[in-house]
Amino acid sequence: MKNIALIVASGLGIRVNASIPKQYLKLGNTSILKLTLLKFINHPKIDAVRVVINLEHHDLYCEATKGLEDKLLPPARGGERRQDSVRNGLQSLSLLPGIKNILIHDAARPFISEEVISNVLKKLELLKAVDTGISLKDTLKSKHPNAIYNRDNFYLTHTPQGFDFQTILKLHNKYQEHIFTDDISLCIEEGIEVGFVESNAQNIKITTPECLTYGGLIMQQNYITRVGYGFDIHKFQPALDQNNTIKLCAIEVPFNKSLSAHSDGDVALHAITDALLGAMGEDDIGMYFPPTDEKWKNTDSTIFLKHAYMLLTDKGGIINNIDVTIVTEKPKLMNFKDMMRKKIAELLNISNNQVSVKAKTSEKLGFVGREEGISVSAVCAITLPKNY
């Protein structure tokens, strides 16, 4: 692991005036922390990501990072001050082999661009410390004494700040009794040359309620909503045994017939998978898991759905909602709909209120009315980065 990102998410975020720390607040349907993490997880040159958290917020962290568990190193314990949290994170990473560079980033900056991350990593090929920031465009003055300064000599610091790993680890250990408001300050104190990368203007730190409003506007500008539609149909066949069940939305439903299928026949998950793939502009489920391939015979259909979900997260996308309609005369599904809804939400790491499952009959019309099979349609709305 050459390049590591350390995301500092242990603060309380008091100024935002919310009931939970700001990094766990949502912009749209996604937490600020998750939006931030996706920027580093999906960067081609970042090998691993670790988050530093307040252990009292562990449940909030787990909720915010649903679906990313296998893409993150276990979280590190935060400290009383920001620099204590960073030092704890660095020390936890010192146990891992082969780390060359580390990027330290505030969790509350979810709009960092891929270009800025790349530029920091490139400069680290020549330097041991690289700062990011925004050059000043306004006139810079002081109140006491009254004075005007050359704005070309100043910039507003952002994150990520990049470092040679061993260098910043040693500095944090050396200066732990001192007070610094960012990590580059340690390098300046030590006399280490610091490079500079111009940050993107949208890389704001969510700090106040006004920042949340502005963040919502940035989301609208940088992300696009896409909608996909999925449909599947399976016919009935004789029951496999007297205790036969069929799978719908990964829930076992007792029925005196089975569904004809190459996989486990979960017609509902197949429709949802196609809806998710369609929203991304991808091919249908049969192209990824062809029914002619014996490898997928009797396969659990949750594998298909999770594959589509991983494609979405790899693109930096999120699910807004899923709407499923199951059309069948029998079995009756009234007592199973809530279980199905909760199962879909669990599989896709979304809230129950983002899923709707409806059961309809065809009023005795057509093949469904003749009780020859089940059809399912699904609609899925997602949010994707515009440049995905």
Residue 55 DSSP symbol:
G
Residue 105 lies in domain? 3-207
The low-confidence residues of the chain, meaning pLDDT below 70, are 13-14, 17, 388
Q: What is the CATH number of the domain that holds 380?
A: 3.30.1330.50
* Residues paired with 374 in a beta bridge: 234
Task: Determine whether the annotation assigns residue 304 to a binding site.
Answer: no
Outline where the chain has alpha helix (H). Answer: 32-41, 58-64, 82-93, 114-123, 165-174, 184-190, 209-222, 267-279, 285-288, 302-314, 337-348, 366-369
Q: Binding residue per annotation — 286?
A: yes
> Are 9 and 150 contained in the same domain?
yes
Query: Looking at the structure, do residues 178 and 238 belong to the same domain, yes or no?
Result: no
Does residue 353 lie in a domain region?
yes
Determine if residue 182 is labeled as part of a ligand binding site. Answer: no
53 labeled part of a ligand binding site: no
Same domain as 165, residue 23: yes
Tokens encoding 67? 């679906």
CA nearest to 31, candidates 108, 105, 112, 116: 108
Could you read off the pLDDT of 292-323 as tens digits, one per residue?
777 778 788 999 999 999 899 888 888 999 99
Same domain, 114 and 203: yes
What global pTM score does this model have? Answer: 0.81
d(CA 229, CA 276): 8
CB 368 within 8 A of CB 328: yes
Tokens representing 334 are 């009234």
The answer to whether residue 238 sits within a structural domain is yes
Contact between 102 and 16 under an 8 Å Cβ cutoff? The reply is no
Ligand-binding site membership of 31 (annotated): no
Q: Are residues 230 and 154 in the same domain?
A: no
197 lies in the same domain as 75: yes
Are 329 and 193 in a shared domain? no
> What pLDDT does residue 13 have?
67
Same domain, 95 and 174: yes
pLDDT digits (tens, 9 = 90+) for 205-214: 998 889 988 9
CATH number of the domain within which 77 lies: 3.90.550.10
Q: How many domains does the chain have?
A: 2
Residue 285 counted as an annotated binding residue: yes
State phi, psi for 305 to the nearest 5 degrees: -65, -40
Do 53 and 176 lie in one domain? The reply is: yes
Question: Is residue 57 a known part of a binding site?
Answer: no
**109 annotated among ligand-binding-site residues:** no
Q: Residues 256, 361: one domain?
A: yes
- Is 233 flagged in the annotation as binding? yes
At a CB cut-off of 8 Å and minimum separation 6, what does 255 contact?
239, 244, 245, 246, 330, 331
Question: Does an H or E element contain 382, and which?
Answer: strand 373-385
Q: Which pLDDT score is estimated for 297?
A: 80
Query: Between 165-174 and 82-93, two packed helices, what is the crossing angle to 10 degrees?
Result: 130
Q: Which of 202, 212, 160 is nearest to 25 (CA)?
A: 212
